[in-house]
Amino acid sequence: MDILGYLLDAMTPFNLMLALVGVILGTIIGALPGLSATMAVAVLVPFTFTMDPAGGLIALGAIYTGAIYGGAYAAILVNTPGTPSAIATTFDGFPMAKRGDGGLAISLATLASVAGGIVGALALLMLAPPLARVALAFGPTEYFWLAMFGLTLIAALSVGNTVKGLIGACIGLFLSMVGVAVVGGDVRYTMDMQRFLAGVDLTSAIIGLYCVPVILDLVASPDPHLSPSATGGLRVMEGARHALSRWGNLLRSSVIGTVIGILPGAGGSIAGLVSYSEARRTAKRPETFGKGNPDGVIATEAANNATVGGGFIPTLVLGIPGTPPDAIIMGALLVQGIKIGPTLFTTDGNVVYTFIWGLLIATLLMLPVGLLIGRYAYGFIIKVPKTLLAPTVALLTIIGAFAIHSNVADAQLMVGLGVIAWVLNRYGFQPSPIVLGLVLGSIAEQGFVQTYLIGNATGRLPEMFFSRPISIGIIIAALVTLLFPIWADWKAKRRAQMSEPVADEGTTIAPEIKTRDLPSIGFAVAFIALGAVIWTGASGMSMLGSVFPKTIGAALAVFSGLLVIQHLRRPAAEPKPRQRDAGAIRRIALGAVMLAWVFVMPLVGFLVTSFAAFAAIMLIADYDRPPLRRWLIWGLTGLLICSGFWWLMANVLLLRMPAGLLF
Amino acid sequence: MRTILTTAFAALVAASGALAEGFPDKAMTYIIPFNAGGESDVSARYQQSEWEAVTGQQVVIQYQPGAGGAQAWSQLNSLPGDGYTVMGINMPHTVLQPLAGSVGYKTEDLTPVHYFHYTPNAIFVTKDSEYQTLADLLDYAKANPGMVTFAGSGSNSANNLAAVQLNAAADVITTYVPFSGTGPSITAILGGQTTAGFNYATSGVAQGDALRMLAVAAEERMPAFPDVPTFKELGFDIVGGAYRGVAVPASASEETRQAVSDIVSKINAQPGFVEKMESGGFVLTDIGYDKMDAFVAERVEEYTAGAKALGIIK
């Protein structure tokens, strides 16, 4: 076997070192929300020009796979996906960490990521040319239905609260339409503001929607951020036993991840969501998902790391990159004079196979590296006092949102969306359906319009939508996912009628009070108005550009109307004595500081505002009133953290930092 | 006295000349207004590998995608004009976008200093397609109005413009289906989702035998595809594609503009660069800063007519 021979080429000390350094760097970058693999890979490409091609590729591939894995840390520990691929990791990872199982969650994420990464890389090694055909079999129709399938997850994520989930999805879909449309070319819903031209950035939106509410809750009470764990540590052996007993889940999720990775433009976030959805559907007790079920973490993390190997398949075989990091790595190959395409595996087999082995080695290295970094990250989050944790996480959200495009507007949008998300969440509109809508919106829209154009031109519109074999498969899967929770709900109710109700342990989503809720009605009325605005705003657009906005505007109004009716039919609630929320003042102060931070930053400068805001948040988050000496130490730490990140961004990632009047 | 003045003046000129020669004395930043992996990125990466040899300094490539490039272009003039930050610039994008709507910049706000290549539009079908020549395809389109679907990159783009031009020139009705980039549209053609594709000639190299190129919108046959006829040969006056260049912020001085233009020109003459670009299906152009005004004016005229055909302007 020639292929095995290349394994030795990949195992030179230099290549091993590149893989190790790449994985470490990637994991850290992935763990910081907003700093992405794309960014790191783009900066490092020139260094590979002078390197041996395989070595350079191994370094880039190791960073990429490490970053996809690293995204899990932030998802588990602070409820913020470090990369969009880790969106579904937050669903169960954070509840696990909350109740003291954060170490276990990290172990499981590590093991699942390694397993998924291996499956993806093996598929790349052995089956790349035939699997590349999967990418070609997926036409616009299949992308459309895949997005619809992803949206059905809302039904599962918002059981008992479906109407609000659907409204959230419509809001997310609306946000995905902002900016210049790919199909039709219309400039939509930008309110003539330049900042909205490129649309709502997914990464800054998920940082805002998921992380800002966490910080707001963090300062609102003196309780620790995560429950202290009974044993400390990562509980690796327990994790390994659990992961092994779920080998079916691991394998299924890895295969889903590999296949979705092959589809250009779908990516790790959709792979994670789909395999999460499948894991939930096949579970014995699906109602525990979203409340800290370890299988949710396993499914997502196995799938998203499998997309790395999967994504290289169309990149190397067809020259069609699956994800932005793939695209940059493809560019690096082209500069090296290596012709991408079907013949690559024979003409430049030495480079390609050495690279794939290197990717496999890097994936295996994630196990020790991840467990080591995970141990420190978990220990840090548990031990660090709130007074330092809150401002550090706040700083990271702002850095992350800014770093994506070196643009303060993204950070402003992030904070704004975050505050809105917290308010909405308080009234039962959860952030996940909004994120789902935002992730899937453009894929759904493009798929729909393209299918419509092709179907209409060839006069077989219904066939295009409903009679393509792969589409039918996806539609069936979507229907099952959609109807399954309803059926499970019905079954659970029957069971409950027969036996005594069982207390639900560790519930994070409060069961909805089935009485009339005036704020909900108020929000619904506002959303009906928004729906009307979306509809009328679409009237000036081209035919292609207006189909989707009109549909979404109408759907938003209908669902909101349903919500109003639902609430009017319920009995009026007993007037509750007004409770004063002790944390409210701190929350409001924090929200104000973060808003001031992002709006003053371009005027005064990044460092000055960060120092000031860091100090302010320390005061807001403090409950212990420590002695002056400790304040000094904390202050100094804050100074170091702010300057350190500034240095990293300005000098390593070469971002243009807002300088303003001062610095 | 006069001689002293003259000498002083000459020295001054020499000094400022030396200043220009000292440029660049640190790494430069090259912003690509698109995602990685497209033609803009690949050609910039080719330039990057020659940059240090030509200027003695490295160049860092950054991506600022969004709104089909408009996001980055609308911010170009807020960047420092010292010449160390340059940005990729594209035609017809920077003409058609401001015509189509309010995108935060106007064509004349931008300062391109060098357009270094273009990628001609070309029609592709899969290797198994029943259409062997452009005539085959057009015959079918004539007999079945609207039935022929072209996958292309984006709405109001070079590909879209070419499809509209072909409709007018050949008096046929075809359906243009916009995709979110060259990659997805090539995927659609390879997968047989559309009849054919209007893409850039570069895809012909990337896909090798998997695709058949029926015609190319270049002035003359391309070295990489000696067997592919031009539209002109076939009787359709369609020449065009996407032009790519380098722009600087408007605050850049005349010397800086010229200096950046010279760097790009020099890279364009490097044999290694020429070889990579031509075999990759790019057509090199050498439109430096001195020829820029005339070039832009000519393109604006052409694309304004195109915008009418696309229905962007009445």
Q: What is the pLDDT of residue A35?
A: 81
Residue from the list A184, A331, A450 with its beta carbon closest to the beta carbon of B42: A331
CATH number of the domain to which B306 belongs: 3.40.190.150
**Tell me, what's the pLDDT at B21?**
58
| pLDDT digit string (tens) for chain B, length 314 residues | 455 555 554 444 444 443 455 788 888 999 999 888 888 999 999 999 899 999 999 898 888 888 888 889 998 998 989 999 999 999 999 999 888 878 889 999 999 999 999 999 999 999 999 999 999 999 999 999 999 999 999 888 899 999 999 999 999 999 999 998 888 899 999 999 999 999 999 988 888 888 999 999 999 999 889 999 999 999 999 998 999 999 999 999 999 999 999 999 999 999 999 999 998 899 999 999 999 999 999 999 999 988 888 887 76
CA distance B41 to B59: 13
CB-CB neighbours of A343 under 10 Å: 13
Helices marked H in B116-249 — which ranges? Answer: 134-143, 158-170, 182-190, 202-207
Contacts of A496 by beta carbon, 8 Å cutoff, 6+ apart? none
DSSP code string of A431-473: HHHHHHHHHHHHHHHHHHHHHHHHHHHHT-HHHHHH--HHHHH
Of A135, A331, A453, the CB nearest to B187: A135
CB pair distance less than 8 Å for B36 and A328: yes
Greatest alpha-carbon span in chain B? 85
Interface test with B, best of A47, A458, A654 (most B CBs within 10 A): A458
Question: Which of B49, B174, B313 to probe the A interface (max A CBs under 10 A)?
Answer: B49
Find out whether A89 and A279 touch, Cβ atoms under 8 Å.
no
Residues B87 and B34 occupy one common structural domain: yes
B172 and B209 belong to one structural domain: yes
pLDDT at res. A232? 64
pLDDT band at A663 (very low <50, low <70, confident <90, very high): low
Give the pLDDT of residue A577: 61
Q: Are residues B271 and B290 in the same domain?
A: yes
Query: What pLDDT does residue A444 have?
Result: 92
Using CB atoms, pick whichever of B29, B49, B67 lies closest to residue A335: B49
User: Which of B159, B182, B216 lies at the terminal end of a domain, its last residue?
Assistant: B216
Mean pLDDT score of chain A: 86
Residue A501 vs residue B22, higher pLDDT: B22
Is B9 among the domain residues? no
Predicted pLDDT at B212:
94
- Residue ranges per structural domain of chain A: 2-230+238-383+427-484
For position A506, what pLDDT does the model report?
A: 43
Same domain, B210 and B141: yes
Stated as kind and residue range, the H or E segment containing B199 is strand B196-200
Domain count, chain B: 2
Q: Inter-chain contact B35–A46, Cβ cutoff 8 Å?
A: no
For residue A405, pLDDT over 60 is answered with yes
Look up the pTM and report it. 0.86
Residues of A in contact with B274 (CB under 8 A): none
What is the H or E stretch that residue B118 is in? strand B111-126
Residue A145: pLDDT over 50: yes
Task: Encode pLDDT of A283-320 as tens digits.
Answer: 888 888 888 999 999 999 999 999 999 999 998 888 88
The stretch A497-505 carries a mean pLDDT of 52
> With contacts defined as CB-CB under 8 Å, which chain A residues touch B208?
341-343
Do A564 and A524 meet the contact criterion of CB atoms below 8 Å apart?
yes
In a domain, B94, yes or no: yes
Strand, helix or coil at A74?
Answer: helix
How far is the C-alpha of A53 from the C-alpha of A45, rounded, in Å?
Answer: 11
CA B300/CA B95 separation, integer angstroms: 6
- What pLDDT was estimated at residue A578? 60
In a domain, B222, yes or no: no
What does the pLDDT read at residue A509? 47
CATH assignment of the domain containing B207: 3.40.190.10
H or E element in which residue A146 lies: helix A140-157
Nearest-CA distance B176 → chain A (Å): 8
* Band of residue A499 on the pLDDT scale cut at 50, 70, 90: low
For the cut 90, the answer to whether the pLDDT of residue A486 exceeds it is no
Q: Which domain holds residue B247?
A: 26-117+241-310
Is residue B69 domain-shared with residue B95, that is, in the same domain? Answer: yes
pLDDT in tens, A43-63: 788 778 778 888 888 999 999
pLDDT of residue B13: 44
Convert the pLDDT of each residue in A542-579 to its tens digit.
888 888 999 999 999 999 999 999 888 888 776 666 66
Instruction: Compute the distance between CA of residue A131 and CA of residue A168 in angstroms, rounded to an integer.
Output: 36
Same domain, B129 and B182: yes
Residue B171, domain member (yes or no): yes
Contact list in B for residue A547 (CB cut-off 8 A) is: none
pLDDT at B19: 43
Q: Average pLDDT in the A460-489 region?
A: 85
Would strands B111-126 and B211-216 be described as parallel, antiparallel, or unpaired?
Answer: antiparallel
**B104 and B125, same domain (yes or no):** no
User: What is the pLDDT at residue A547?
Assistant: 87
What pLDDT is stored for residue A513 in this prediction?
Answer: 53
Give the residue from B153, B183, B216 where a domain finishes: B216
Q: Which helix (H) or strand (E) holds B126?
A: strand B111-126
What CA–CA distance (Å, rounded) separates A176 from A598? 23
Phi, psi of B112 (to 5 degrees): -70, 140
- Per the domain annotation, does B15 fall within a domain? no
Q: Is residue B5 part of a domain?
A: no
Q: Is the pLDDT of residue A510 over 70?
A: no
pLDDT of B99-120, one tens digit each?
887 888 999 999 999 999 999 9
My answer on whether B212 and B277 are in the same domain is no
Cβ proximity of A60 and A22 under 8 Å? yes
